[in-house]
């Protein structure tokens, strides 16, 4: 196999030296160590900022003039406004892998001017397969290497690199021979088949462009040039630094990770197996996504992202929901997402799973995109983002048949493990080891590559938006509960970035304006008050969300349940307000303290978002909630891979009779896996074992496990686990199913004096 060093190794070596990494021309053994330690997005790194992006400059709220951050909730995710005042700020170039003869690219100022919807005159492919480029600057100032426009340039180069990886498939060479042997592995749907050499050359070109831009940033940082404050708004885009020193350090690590991923992917193209090609492709795309998210973070937390030039910033830098959803921008070429979804639905043999996808998770609109893409407008960007990443997962994991081919090997390897000490033994109640808790609750993946891909899809949206995805079904369930319980206000504790509060308030106001739906009976408009101990709207650095601007104003609560007295001071009475808890920290007493204070002051309705006996809250909290309240409603929220997410709405048992609820009911509404029960439809017993590959599947017995076979296969398919031919999971295998007796049952826990074992969800590490 030929050496896979990138052209221009001297430039790469100098940059890697600055990153304190081995040179690109090193031996294969050294190259295997080239990548930096894999980290999730470190949102708290900016504690060390000492330059223009200080915390004081980032104090903001969403009640003033519209900022770049505000456009997250007003922008049509599927129609990126990349033109402004008749000028397209980002243009299509000559094509990624071929020389095209141009394309129709009309400039309109309406929503119909969807970016990437035009066909190339020579290859007839949509503009999504062609190169993006930054339009020529009209500003009369030199381009600052750390400016907003520089950020846009790197995002463009990263997008182009990602499109080469995800949209082009080698059609001749060693890998093609391997494909004939591993005939079940298929190219990604609608991928363009071309020669390996053409792909390799393009990988070198776009990786080199990213490195060159990074080198300019590094050189400017070392030059210690003064950073003047520019008063002209448009010139600030080009002349003012938008990347801090702390951001730049992390960007260097992400760039180094891309180098390693590109080298590995090139080796896979040159001669590895088809399985290896799929896995290296996933890692390479995830590396590109990590770099995009980090540059986007620098842009949205920049001090110039709040002034009058927000429209110009938005036209150059798409929000994540737009970056991954807008047709032709990043991956969805020729409505591939819709075609992938159609093919996936054909293989689902369970009507309930189809309904979950199309109705509950609102993917039926995406099926219509072949006809009316421009008319699909989302006011829920996190849902659009989740949908797009889910469809892309279908394309690369399901339709390539990777999950079907790889599953037997994965299960065989896990079943051979005999040492279950860290996974199945009951740990001491006071054990606080994060690693032990992650080992207990971690969801298994088909491979390390799939885990990297899955975490990329899960963790970044959790950082930038919220840990759970609201849907229309969930929002309607919340509004119905408020009406039925005569409640018109919501108080959220631990609001994070305030995404759920903002979306719920938006929904409630829309209902009252359009239909009333019982909310017109209220004396005043519906309100949602959000609280957090570190609200980003006050300039704080949140542990999980960093300095991401909040979606609504977040009130300061120095301690819990301090928020309750604060909300009371603002005229909110517990009996008139519902309590919202969205993914309360696992292992923390916060949720239990807030619940006790809320119920103790007369509160009646609790809205909980998260999972039961897992990565949310504590056993003590779950026990108190189920003892004091009755579960009115359960809504399954979108999830893929690492968790099982539900919306549950609870009514205080002492108020059940008043609102005509039977608290002793044995209906399936209360008896679901959302509150610890068996997944089998006809069973109302507590679950005994939980699937390690799809956490929403849990059973009380092998009989229920067997009776649930058809629905289980479809549910596993939603997690990209293909068991259509044969269900290879073993109910009694501890590597396939977690013994829930190792997590003390909520029915066995005293309400007040149990010192619960902490349960840890992944959070992003601080930089020191």
CA distance to 43, 47, 373, 461, per residue, from 545 (Å): 6, 13, 32, 10
Upstream peptide bond of 266 is cis (omega within 30 degrees of 0):
no
Q: How much is the average pLDDT of 7-35?
A: 37
Nearest to 593 by CA among 572, 630, 620: 620
CATH-assigned architecture of domain 472-676: 3-Layer(aba) Sandwich (3.40)
Which tens digits make up the pLDDT trace of 418-431? 444 444 444 444 44
Predicted pLDDT of residue 210: 96
Which tens digits make up the pLDDT trace of 170-198? 986 544 444 444 558 999 999 989 899 99
The helix/strand/coil state of 216 is helix
Highest mean pLDDT of the ranges 203-217, 225-239, 298-312, 658-672: 203-217
- 340 near 189, Cβ under 8 Å? yes
| Residue 754: pLDDT over 60 | no
Predicted pLDDT of residue 101: 66
Q: What is the rounded distance in angstroms from the CA atom of residue 206 to the CA atom of residue 149?
A: 18
The helix/strand/coil state of 648 is strand
The residue with greater pLDDT, 32 or 493, is 493
Q: How much is the average pLDDT of 196-212?
A: 94
The residue with greater pLDDT, 470 or 51, is 470
| Residue 261: pLDDT over 90 | yes
Which tens digits make up the pLDDT trace of 62-109? 334 688 999 999 888 888 888 887 788 888 778 888 777 666 655 444
The residue with greater pLDDT, 535 or 308, is 535
The torsion angle over the Cα atoms of residues 371, 376, 382 and 388, rounded to 10 degrees, is 10
Question: Over the chain, what is the mean pLDDT?
Answer: 78
Predicted pLDDT of residue 560: 56
Every domain of the chain with CATH number 3.40.50 lies at 472-676
Predicted pLDDT of residue 747: 33
The residue with greater pLDDT, 17 or 380, is 380
- 284 near 264, Cβ under 8 Å? yes
CA distance to 40, 131, 269, 286, 665, per residue, from 158 (Å): 18, 11, 20, 11, 55
Q: What is the rounded distance in angstroms from the CA atom of residue 766 to the CA atom of residue 768?
A: 6
């Amino acid at each position: 196999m030929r050496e896979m060093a990138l052209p221009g190794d001297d430039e790469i070596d100098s940059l890697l030296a600055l990153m304190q990494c081995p040179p690109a021309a090193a031996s294969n053994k050294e190259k295997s160590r080239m990548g930096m330690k894999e980290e999730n997005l470190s949102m708290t790194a900016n504690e060390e900022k000492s330059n223009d992006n200080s915390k004081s400059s980032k104090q903001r709220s969403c009640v003033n003039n519209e900022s770049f951050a505000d456009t997250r909730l007003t922008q049509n995710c599927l129609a990126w406004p990349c033109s402004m005042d008749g000028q397209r700020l980002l243009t299509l170039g000559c094509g990624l892998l071929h020389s095209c003869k141009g394309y129709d690219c009309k400039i309109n100022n309406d929503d119909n001017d969807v970016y990437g919807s035009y066909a190339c005159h020579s290859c007839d492919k949509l503009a999504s397969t062609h190169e993006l480029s930054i339009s020529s600057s009209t500003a009369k100032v030199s381009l600052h290497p750390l400016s907003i426009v520089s950020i846009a340039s790197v995002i463009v180069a990263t997008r182009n690199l990602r499109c080469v990886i995800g949209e082009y498939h080698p059609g001749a060479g060693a890998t093609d021979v391997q494909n004939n042997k591993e005939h079940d592995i298929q190219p990604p749907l609608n991928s363009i088949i071309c020669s390996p050499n053409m792909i390799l050359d393009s990988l070198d070109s776009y990786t080199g462009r990213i490195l060159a831009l990074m080198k300019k940033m590094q050189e400017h940082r070392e030059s210690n040039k003064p950073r003047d404050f520019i008063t002209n708004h448009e010139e600030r885009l080009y002349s003012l630094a938008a990347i801090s020193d702390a951001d730049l350090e992390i960007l260097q690590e992400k760039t180094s990770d891309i180098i390693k991923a590109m080298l590995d992917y090139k080796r896979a193209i040159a001669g590895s197996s088809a399985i290896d090609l799929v896995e290296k492709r996933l890692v390479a795309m995830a590396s590109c996504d990590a770099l995009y998210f980090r540059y986007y973070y620098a842009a949205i937390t920049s001090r110039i992202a709040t002034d009058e030039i927000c429209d110009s910033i938005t036209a150059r830098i798409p929000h994540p929901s737009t970056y991954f959803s807008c047709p032709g921008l990043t991956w969805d070429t020729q409505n591939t997402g819709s075609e992938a979804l159609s093919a996936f639905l054909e293989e689902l043999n369970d009507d309930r799973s189809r309904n979950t996808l199309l109705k509950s998770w609102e993917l039926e609109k995406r099926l219509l995109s072949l006809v009316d893409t421009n008319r699909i407008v989302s006011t829920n960007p996190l849902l659009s983002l989740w949908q797009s990443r889910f469809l892309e997962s279908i394309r690369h994991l399901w339709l390539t048949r990777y999950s079907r081919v790889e599953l037997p090997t994965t299960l065989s390897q896990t079943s051979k493990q005999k040492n279950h000490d860290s996974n199945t033994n009951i740990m001491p109640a006071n054990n606080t080891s994060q690693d032990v808790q992650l080992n207990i609750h971690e969801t298994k993946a088909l491979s390390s590559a799939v885990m990297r891909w899955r975490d990329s899809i899960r963790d970044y949206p959790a950082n930038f938006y919220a840990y759970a995805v609201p849907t229309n079904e969930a929002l309607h369930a919340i509004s119905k509960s408020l009406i039925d319980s005569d409640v018109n206000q919501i108080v959220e504790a631990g609001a994070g970035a305030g995404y759920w509060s903002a979306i719920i308030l938006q929904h409630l106001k829309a209902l009252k304006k359009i239909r009333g739906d019982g909310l017109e009976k209220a004396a005043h408009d519906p309100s949602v008050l959000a609280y957090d101990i570190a609200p980003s709207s006050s300039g704080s650095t949140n542990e999980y969300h960093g300095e991401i601007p909040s979606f609504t104003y977040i009130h300061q609560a120095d301690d819990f349940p301090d928020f309750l007295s604060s909300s009371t001071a603002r005229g909110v009475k517990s009996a008139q307000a519902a309590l919202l808890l969205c993914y309360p920290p696992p292992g923390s007493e916060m949720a239990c303290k807030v619940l006790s204070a809320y119920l103790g002051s007369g509160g009646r309705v609790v809205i909980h978002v998260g999972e039961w006996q897992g990565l949310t809250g504590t056993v003590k909290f779950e026990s108190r909630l189920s003892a004091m309240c009755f579960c009115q409603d359960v809504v399954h929220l979108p999830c893929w891979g690492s968790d099982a997410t539900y919306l549950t709405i609870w009514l205080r048992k002492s108020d059940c009779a008043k609102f005509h609820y039977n608290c002793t009911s044995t209906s399936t509404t209360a008896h679901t896996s959302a509150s610890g029960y068996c997944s089998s439809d006809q069973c109302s017993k507590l679950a005994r074992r939980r699937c390690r590959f799809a956490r929403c599947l849990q059973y009380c017995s092998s009989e229920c496990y067997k009776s649930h076979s058809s629905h289980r296969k479809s549910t596993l398919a939603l997690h990209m686990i293909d068991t259509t031919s044969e269900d290879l999971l073993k109910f009694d295998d501890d590597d396939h199913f977690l013994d829930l007796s190792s997590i003390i049952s909520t029915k066995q826990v005293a309400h007040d004096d149990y010192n619960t074992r902490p349960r840890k969800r992944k959070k992003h590490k601080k930089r020191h």
